[in-house]
Amino acid sequence: MYNSLIEANDAIEFLRKTKYVKELSAYKCTVCGFWHLTSK
Ligand SMILES: [Zn+2]
């Protein structure tokens, strides 16, 4: 999980470069209030 959208986007950037993940986006979880990544 990530504290902010900026952190989440950084993680997405990293994963795209290293793991060739195509579809990744960040969303703010309504349960815990942190940001998560989804591959949908
Ligand atoms: Zn959550």
3-state SS of the chain?
A: CECCHHHHHHHHHHHHHHHCCCCCEEEECCCCCCEEEECC
Residue 2's DSSP bridge partners are 35
pLDDT mean over 12-36: 92
What pTM did the predictor assign? 0.75
Give me the count of residues in the chain.
40
Supply 5's token pair: 């959208």
Q: Distance, CA 32 to ligand 1 centroid (Å)?
A: 4
Summarised one tens digit per residue, pLDDT across range 25-40 is 999 999 999 999 998 7
Q: Distance, CA 26 to ligand 1 centroid (Å)?
A: 11
Residue 25's DSSP bridge partners are 38
Supply 36's token pair: 């998560």
